Amino acid sequence: MKEFAQLIYLLGITTKTNEKLRALEEYFYKADDKDRVWVIALFTGRRPRRTISSTLLKSWCAEYIDLPLWLFDESYHTVGDLSETIALLIPDDETDADEKRSLHFYIESFILLAKASEEEKKEFMLRSWKELGSVPERFVFNKILSGAFRIGVSQQLLIKALAKVSSLEAAVVAHRISGNWDPATISYEELMQPENATADESKPYPFYLAYPLETEPSLLGLPGEWQGEWKWDGIRGQLIKRNEAIYVWSRGEDLVTEKFPEYDSILPLLPDGVVLDGEIIPAVNGKPLPFAQLQTRIGRKNIPKKMLQEVPVCFFVYDLLEYEGIDIREQPLEQRRSLLEKLVAEISHPSLIISPVIAFDTWEELTQIRNRSREEFAEGLMLKRLSSSYQVGRKRGDWWKWKIDPLVIDAVMIYAQKGSGRRSGLYTDYTFAVKDGDKLVPFAKAYSGLTDQEIAKVDAFVKRNAIEKFGPVRTVKPELVFELAFEGIAASKRHKSGVALRFPRINRWRMDKTAGEINTLEDLRSMLETYGK
Amino acid sequence: MPLIDFTNKGLYCSAGDFYIDPWKPVNKAIISHGHSDHARWGSSSYLCHTHTVPILKLRLGEGNYQGMEWGEHISINGVDVSLYPAGHIIGSSQVRIEYNGEIWVFSGDFKLEDDGLSGAFEPVKCNVFITESTFGLPIYKWKKQSIIYEDIRNWVLANQQADKASVIIAYSLGKAQRVIEAVSAVTEDIYVHGAVWNVQQTLKAAGHQLQAVKKVEADIPKTAYRKAVIVAPSGAESSPWIKRFTPYSLAICSGWMQVRGNARRKNADRGFVLSDHADWEGLLQAVKETGAEKVFVTHGFQSAFSKYLDENGIPAAEVKTAYGDDEEAEKETEEPV
C-alpha cells in the first residue's frame, strides 16, 4: 500500500509528464502482478462498487477521534475532499505494525465487505485506518473505497508506461486494457499476454480524438485533402457486432448497451465483425434534439416507454474500424468512408444515420458553412485528412475539431463554494444570477475559466463579503459581474430560471460592469427561443 | 472596563495608552514580531524584543525603537508590560500586560516546538489570552522538526544525485533561516534570493550565529547552481528569476502544504509541511496552559477555534484584526535580484 500511496503522491504533485511516466514505470516494475492488475483497473475507471456511504465514514471517523460533527464538516470544507479529511484527522499510528498489507488485500476486502454487516464494515474501517501508518496511505485507501478517484493520468500515459514495462506496442496495450474484463478474476498475464487469443469479443478500439483547431484552416493546406463533417453534440461511442451480439461503448469506456434499446433492431441487419465509430444522439427524423434531453435519459436505470418515444436515440456514424472481423484502422479514411457508406446504405435503418460529408471547395466557403452550425444542431465542424489512419488517443495533425464561438451572457455572482482537489480551500465554485425586474434569479454554476490570480481575488472578496460563517456555501454581495460562455441552452423544469445551460464557464471578469448592467431573464428566454427549440 | 479594546487601529490598552501590533500609525506601539502584518510603518515609537529591533529597522527604516528582554518589566502609565518567547521567529514575543492585578496576554504568532533559533515558547498564566488561530482546525498536525528536516535533506540528496538544483520556497524571515539550518547538514552550497540575503545579513550583524550563504547574483555562472540549494521567498517560483537554476526541483515549505490541493496548486515538486505556527493540538495546549478564563481568537480559523473552545468550557470569542490569515504564503515585496 505504501508504494501505491507514494505513486499517487508523485502523480498528484508533479505536473511534468515525464516524471509521471517515470513514477508509473517504476511502480509497475516493482509491483506484484495482483497489484498491477488493480492499478490498471483503477486507472481505467474499473473500481469496486462502493459499499459504505460517506455519511457513515464521516460519523465513524468523528466518533473515533472524538470530534464534534460540525468541526469535522469545517475541516472537510477546508480540505475539499472527504477521503483526505479523514486521512488527516486520524492520528498516525506510532507503533510500527509488522504486517504491511498490499493494495490488493484492501481492494479484495472492499469487495467482500459488500455482504458484511454494518458492524463488520465499521470494524474493518477503524482497524485499517489505524494500521495504515501515514496520511498518504489512508488517503488512497479511502479514495479506493469511495470510488471518486481522479488521478491525473491520461489513458495514453498509462498505456505508454505499460508498453515500456511489458515490451509490447502501445496500440496493443491500449486494446488489451480496453473492453470488458474483471480485475478480481483476471491475472496480469492473461490481461497482457500477446498470444491471448481468446480476446473478449466486446472489446472496443481506443478512440481517436481530435485537438481543437486554433489557427486559420488555410494553414492545413489544400482543401481537397480534407473531409469536413458536422461536429455533433452527443456521446461519442462505438457500436460493435461480433458473434451475433451487439455492444455499445461510450468514450469513457463504459459498456452502455442496455441504455439504448433502439440499437437492438439494428443488430439483425448488421453483418458480423463490424465496429462503427460515431455519436449517440437523440434525434427525430434525423434532426438532433438538444443534448440536455439525452442527459435526462442517460441517468435512468429503466427508461420509460414515453421517454423512448419522445427522446429516441440515433447513432450518427462517421467511421468504420472493423469490417468482416478485420481491423481496418490502418486504411486511409477515404477507403474506410466508402466502405461505411455502402454498409449504411445496405442496412437502411432509421436509427443508423450516416454523418454527412460537407462539400466545400475553398476554406472561405467552409468558414461560411461553419457559421450555420447552430442551425444544423452541431457544435461546429470536424476536419479529417482523407489519407489519415484511425489513430489511438488524442493526436495532432490529421483530425481537428473546429467549434463555433460559444453563446455568452453577463451575470452576477451570488453564491460561492469552496472547490476541491487542486482548488481546495479556495472559493472557486460560483453560482450566477440574471436580473428579473429587481430580483436576481440564479441560472448557472460555473467552476472554470478564471486564472489563479483572478481566483485569488474572488476568494478574497468572498471571504470579506460572506454572510455565513459555517457550512460550505457563502452568500455574497451581488457585485462581481462575469461574462459566462456556454454551448447550448434548453428548457428545464428543474431549474428556477426555467433554462439549463450546456458547459457553462466563465469567459471573462467584467470589471467594467456593475450588477445593474447584467443581462435579464428575458434575454435568457429569448436565447432559448432562438437556439433551444 | 477591559484592559484591551479591539479598535479599528489595533489592540488598544487605554489604561496604558498604547497599542499592540497596530495596523494604523499610532503614538506608542508594542510589537510582537517583525512580520509585516504585525509590524507596520508609521507609528511614533515602537517597543519590542531586542532581537526584533534590527528587523524593524530593516523593514520599516529608521525610527524610534526601544528593545527589551524576555522577562524584563517596563511600566507604561502604570501598566506593567513584559515579553515572553513565542517561538515563532527570531525575536517573536508574547506580550503580557498587568494592571490592577488583572493579566492579559497577547500571543502574537507562536509555535510550541523549539526550532533552535527563535527561543522556546513559554506558557504565561493570565486571566485573558488573545491567541492566533492560523492553523486552528484539527486537520493541521505537525510532525517533529527533526523528521521534516530529514525529509528535506533526503530530497536535496536525491536532487544532487539527479544533477539538479534544489529550489526551496520559504518565507524570508523565519522559515528561510530554518531551512538553511536544515540543509546545511548536507551541503555548503547554499544560495539565497536577495530578500532572504537582506534578512540573513541583518540577523548576522545583530550577532545571531547563522550558516554561511551566498547571494544569487546576475554574474554567477549557471553551472554554479548545479547540485546547490537555493532558498527564495514565495512569489519567486512563478517569476523568470527562477529559470537560471534549470534543471531544478522545486519545494515549498509551509504549513499549508498539509492539504494536498494547496501543494498541487503551487506546481511544486514537493511540499514540506514546515510551519512557524502552532498546530491544532499546539493551540489547544497553549490555551490550556495559560489557565485563562476568557480567550479571544484572532486571525485564522477564528470562528471554528473559538466555537470549539466555547463548547469545551473555555469562554471564547472571535476578534477581527488586520493580521494576515495567510502570512505564510504572503508575497514578498522586495525586488528580485
Query: Phi and psi of A407, rounded to 5°?
Result: -80, 150
B329 pLDDT above the threshold of 50: no
What residues pair up with A255 in beta bridges, in sequence order?
Answer: A249
Q: Which residue has the higher pLDDT, B317 or A494?
A: B317
**Residue A39's closest CA among A242, A168, A192?**
A192
Residue of B226, B233, B220 lying closest to B248 (CA atoms): B226
- Work out how many CB contacts closer than 8 A connect A with B: 72
What residues in B contact A420, CB-CB < 8 Å? 261
Comparing C-alpha atoms, which of B156, B150, B148 is closest to residue B258? B148
Q: Where are the beta strands (DSSP E) in A359-457?
A: 378-385, 393-394, 399-403, 407-418, 427-436, 439-446
Tell me, what's the pLDDT at B324?
Answer: 67
* Interface subset of A 7-36, CB within 8 angstroms of B: 12-15, 19
What does B54-100 look like in DSSP terms, one character per residue?
HHHHHHH-S--EEEE-BT-EEEETTEEEEEEE-SSSTT-EEEEEEET
Strand partners, B131: B297
| Residue that the C-alpha cell 498564566 belongs to | B125
For the segment B172-186, the average pLDDT, to the nearest whole number, is 96
The stretches in chain A having pLDDT less than 70 are 94-99, 148, 194-200, 252-253, 301, 533
Structural contact between residues B292 and B129, judged by C-beta atoms closer than 8 angstroms: yes
DSSP label at residue A219: G
Contacts of A74 in chain B (CB under 8 A): 137, 301, 304
Smallest Cα distance from B319 to chain A, Å: 13
For the stretch B238-287, pLDDT in tens is 889 999 999 999 999 999 999 988 887 777 889 999 999 999 999 999 99
pLDDT score at B330: 41
Q: What's the confidence (pLDDT) of residue B53? A: 97
**Is the model's pLDDT at B332 over the cut of 70?**
no
Question: What global pTM score does this model have?
Answer: 0.80
pLDDT of residue B337: 32
Which amino acid type is present at position A272?
D
| B139 Cβ under 8 Å from any chain A Cβ | yes
Q: Do B139 and A78 touch (CB under 8 A)?
A: yes
pLDDT band with cut points at 50, 70 and 90 for residue B20: very high
| The C-alpha cell that represents B217 in the structure block | 547574483
At a CB cut-off of 8 Å and minimum separation 6, what does B76 contact? Answer: B16, B17, B18, B28
Which residues on chain B are in Cβ contact (under 8 Å) with A89?
138-139
pLDDT in tens, B293-302: 999 999 889 9
CB A248 within 8 A of CB A260: yes
Q: B313 CB near a chain A CB, below 8 Å?
A: no
pLDDT for B335 equals 33
| Chain B residue nearest residue A70, CA to CA | B304
Please check whether residue B104 is in contact with residue B128, taking contact to mean a CB–CB distance below 8 angstroms. Answer: yes
Question: Would strands A226-232 and A378-385 be described as parallel, antiparallel, or unpaired?
Answer: antiparallel
Helix axes A118-131, A54-64, angle to 10 degrees: 60
Q: Give the residue from chain A lying closest to B304, CA to CA.
A: A71
Please give the pLDDT value at position B209. 92
- Helix (H) or strand (E) holding A230, with range, is strand A226-232
A79 touches chain B (CB under 8 A): yes
Counting DSSP H helices and E strands in chain A, the numbers are: 18, 22
Q: Which pLDDT value is given to residue A204? A: 87
